[in-house]
Amino acid sequence: MKKQITENWWNDFFAEFRPFFAHKSPKETNSEVKFYLKKLNLKKGKLFLDCPVGIGRIALPLAKKGIKITGIDIMPSYLGELSEKASKAKLSIKLFHQDMRKIDFENQFDAVGNLWTSFGYFEKDSDNMLVLKKLYKALKPGGKFVIQVINRDWIMKNFLSNNWDEVAGVKILEKREFFYDTSSCITEYLFIKDGVEKSLTSYIRMYSFHELKSMLEKVGFKNVVGYSSVKEEPISRDSREMFIFAVK
Ligand SMILES: C[S@@+](CC[C@H](N)C(=O)[O-])C[C@H]1O[C@@H](n2cnc3c(N)ncnc32)[C@H](O)[C@@H]1O
């Protein structure tokens, strides 16, 4: 039977997703942070909007560099965890519990980021476009934008219908179905922890570089450039990641 997605799937899914953050090693995160500092021209006192911010994987190290962070997320538990870590480190981070489609900032930030495949969560293409419009609006004129997502062209070459994963003591079975009519992937996850099973579903609209570039330009962004790594290698069907930068 064709897989179906539940409405607002992210609420249940991200409640169980917390162990997945362990997939990003401190080394990988550090090199990403350095890359964003350089490419977004982030210096002490600059204003950065991290949407969605998660548990502050990127936001916390940036705040430690003196960047003024505003973070948005739909998961109250992630925001709670981040707020606790920030206050322990005596860092001031502004956090908002909000759906990324509903943010309402205008000409406020020097840079804006949507990081680690946090885009394409909505079944309606117009909703995904709305996120880009809101992020664009939040930037000051001349402000810099980065979006980091999985490359659809890589997915097409390496698509796996099923695989097992294990992270932080949780065994995870992932069963995927790709829909060519909408370029979307619905994944059913079976999380098994201490013998207890929980099943969840995610939806991601997948984008190739050229499609995201054209969407960003439609929204008004200029100078759109994409890399497959923090070493600024070009995007190809062999690159899993895309780091796309643009300017308002
Ligand atoms: C893969 S995590 C990435 C988090 C962070 N950007 C990072 O790099 O670590 C995706 C995040 O999107 C958040 N999220 C999911 N749906 C959302 C929505 N509709 N509005 C705002 N945030 C959402 C999740 O709670 C989660 O923190």
Query: Do both 114 and 36 map to the same domain?
Result: yes
Residues with CB under 6 A from ligand 1: 10, 14, 52-54, 57-58, 72-75, 78, 99-100, 115-118, 121
Q: What is the pTM of this model?
A: 0.96
- β-sheet bridge partners, residue 164: 173
Query: Do both 36 and 56 map to the same domain?
Result: yes
Amino acid identity for residue 223 in this structure: N
Residue 60 placed within a domain: yes
User: Which tokens sit at 152?
Assistant: 């659809």
> CATH no. for residue 132?
3.40.50.150
Long-range contacts of 34-37 (CB under 8 A, 24+ apart): 34/230, 35/230, 35/243, 36/62, 36/111, 36/113, 36/146, 37/62, 37/65
Residue 4 placed within a domain: no
pLDDT in tens, 21-77: 988 899 999 999 999 999 999 999 999 999 999 999 999 999 999 999 999 999 999
Atom 19 of ligand 1, residue of closest alpha carbon: 99
Amino acid identity for residue 91 in this structure: L
Query: Do both 104 and 174 map to the same domain?
Result: no
> What pLDDT does residue 167 have?
85
| Cα 216 to ligand 1 centroid, rounded to whole Å | 20
Q: For every residue of 51-104, which 3-state class applies, written as one string?
A: CCCCCCCCHHHHHHCCCEEEEEECCHHHHHHHHHHHHHCCCCCEEEECCHHHCC
